[in-house]
Amino acid sequence: MLYVLNTNLNSKKKIKSALSDIYGLGPHTCYQLCDLLGISTEKRLKQLSSKQLEQLTQLVNQNYNVSGEIKRSTLKNIKRLIKIASYRGFRHTEGLPLRGQRTHGNSRTARKLKITVWTK
């Protein structure tokens, strides 16, 4: 296991799939990162040198929002919707679907959970 960008990554995985385990990086972004660094996407994570890992983390920190930053901004946006008393904010507080989905047959799980995180 390697600890990169506040995430434990399996060092036996190929780089393209290991990097997509980081919240905020998808497969396309992983390919772009490998191309920029000149690393083959088929290499295993444990085959990277410490210099390459350092370059990778610097590149991601400079150009992409990952993990905590994305989660923080999402929570901030949801709290803003709740604060301004918008329809979407109300749906968030009630734990219901936001984007017009029906609630009669679907979204039973969402209605059962009724997440109370947003009201804090």
Task: Tell me what pLDDT residue 120 has.
Answer: 55
**pLDDT, tens digit, 9 for 90 and up, residues 61-120:** 898 988 888 999 999 999 999 999 999 999 888 888 888 888 887 777 776 776 555 555
Nearest-Å Rg of the Cα atoms of the chain is 19
- How far is residue 39's CA from residue 49's CA, in Å, rounded to a whole number? 11
- How far is residue 64's CA from residue 50's CA, in Å, rounded to a whole number? 21
Are 79 and 98 in a shared domain?
yes
- How far is residue 6's CA from residue 12's CA, in Å, rounded to a whole number? 18
Residue 55 sits in a domain whose CATH number is: 1.10.8.50
Which structural domain range is residue 30 located in? Answer: 2-63
- How far is residue 37's CA from residue 120's CA, in Å, rounded to a whole number? 43
In a domain, 119, yes or no: no
**pLDDT confidence tier of residue 14, bands split at 50, 70 and 90:** very high
